[in-house]
Amino acid sequence: MTPSDTARLRQNVARFYLLQWFSNAQFHLVVYTLFLLSKGFDTRQFFTIESAYALVALLMEVPTGAFSDRQSRKWSLILASIVSLPVVPVIILSDSFAVVLVAMSVGGISAAFVSGTDESLLYDTLRALDREEEFKQVLGKSQWYGSLAMAISGVIGGLLAQIDLSYAWWAYFVAGIGTLIVKFTLREPPFFRETIKDESYLKHVRQSLRLAFSGDAAYFVLYGAIIWLFFSLGFWLWQPYLKLIGLPVSAYGFLYAALNLVGGYVSKQAHRIESRLGMRRALLLTPLMLALALVLESRFVFILGFLFIALHSVASGLFSPLLADAIHARIPSSRRATVLSIKNMANSVLFMALSPLLGHVVDRYALPSALLAMGALLVVTSFVFSALYRAERRPAEAGP
């Protein structure tokens, strides 16, 4: 690369921080579940909608991951915004279960285009600058900025929702326009072009599947797919739990802000925490913290129960950058987005299969029973993965 190319590529890091800011200004999340339930949907229908989203994302994960690896990381991100922007007004304006179901399904295409691509663009940018050892730190810092954006937008979203639940969603739509603008300013990193041009799509996918399920990254791919399922399910139960304990909706935004600041700060410090605990202990600690939170929520249903949710934020803040660094260090640039998409595809399969069942348990047996079952299952899953962890697992230099 020429000095001017290096200088322009260096700007990707700052723009990635800005992208995290806009894309995480999710004003609507603070009342996401409540807004859909306010349309007259029950919990089972809510998780059916989320499962449809996960199904489409599942079907599109590998094709979009391959597009990102073989064509353009930048344009994969841009297409994600172009697909997602029209979805938001449709969801806001329709009270039809079928229409919202279809709209959310289309949103799954957008999620698939982003899946693995944003992290791949950052990692390859740092690799091109000979700074890949900073990935964990830079990603943690970017997630801190994203958490700040989520905190501020959560407070504003909660205040807007006091007037009308849909206003928080409209604010999210405006932020989505800003996200698209930032994506156009990104510079394509060079390493993805190491892909062999005469390699067929099917061979690319087959080799990526081999890397994901039998290569050095296999353990971490499966671990991430399964453990992140519990984080996803737990997140969608926050608002029903807060409603159950009687926390006023006006307080949701402030709580959401505080939780994101906690999670973001932990992400920023994740590289230091891992250096003290070691990878194995850190990997065991994060799901156990989430399991403890779920069990406490199931046993203590009172106004201060919102404090238990803080453990969700601490665990997810630690989990995300550590797992991402472990996977990226074990896969080549030319297959990076596809392998990450395969991980997310596995997570989508699990979510699609289990979330409607969880919704049924909530509707039939009440929320505390569902939380307790999730916590117990997560404890067992965590110790199984800890037992399978091999001390000799070390990041290997991933070539093209």
Helices (DSSP H) in the chain: which residue ranges? 3-23, 32-38, 43-70, 73-84, 87-93, 97-114, 117-128, 135-163, 165-185, 201-214, 218-236, 238-244, 252-268, 270-277, 279-299, 309-328, 336-365, 367-388
Answer yes or no: is 289 within a domain: yes
pLDDT the model gives residue 189: 82
CA-atom Rg of the chain in angstroms: 20
List the chain residues with pLDDT less than 70.
Answer: 1, 191-199, 201, 390-400
Answer yes or no: is 5 within a domain: no
Q: What letter represents residue 381's amino acid? A: T
Q: Ramachandran region of residue 217, left (φ > 0), alpha (ψ -120 to 50) or beta?
A: alpha
pLDDT the model gives residue 395: 46
Give the tokens for residue 297. 């929520």
Q: Which residues contact 136 (CB under 8 A, 6 or more apart)?
A: 270, 271, 274, 321, 322, 324, 325
pLDDT the model gives residue 1: 62
Number of domains in the chain: 1
Count Cβ atoms below 10 Å from residue 14 Cβ, excluding itself: 10
Give the tokens for residue 24. 């995480």
Give CA–CA dist 177/9, Å, rounded.
23
> Which of 80, 30, 29 is closest to 249 using CA atoms?
30
Give CA–CA dist 130/161, Å, rounded.
46
pLDDT the model gives residue 183: 94
pLDDT the model gives residue 348: 75
Answer yes or no: is 195 within a domain: no
On whether the pTM is more than 0.75, the answer is no
pLDDT in tens, 243-257: 888 888 778 778 878
Give CA–CA dist 373/358, Å, rounded.
10
Answer yes or no: is 1 within a domain: no
- Contact between 145 and 23 under an 8 Å Cβ cutoff? The reply is no
Answer yes or no: is 398 within a domain: no
Q: Which residues of 266-296 are buried (b: 16+ CB within 10 A; e: fewer)?
A: bbbbbbebbeeeebeebbbbbbbbbbbbbbb
Domain around 301: 11-190+201-388
**CA distances (Å), origin 249, targets 240, 252, 320:** 11, 5, 28
Answer yes or no: is 356 within a domain: yes
Answer yes or no: is 397 within a domain: no
What own/partner pairs with CB < 8 Å and gap ≥ 24 does 270-278 have?
270/136, 270/140, 270/317, 270/318, 270/320, 270/321, 270/322, 271/136, 271/137, 271/140, 271/321, 271/325, 273/318, 274/136, 274/322
- Contact between 73 and 192 under an 8 Å Cβ cutoff? The reply is yes
Helices (DSSP H) in 245-335: which residue ranges? 252-268, 270-277, 279-299, 309-328
Answer yes or no: is 400 within a domain: no
CATH (domain of 159): 1.20.1250.20
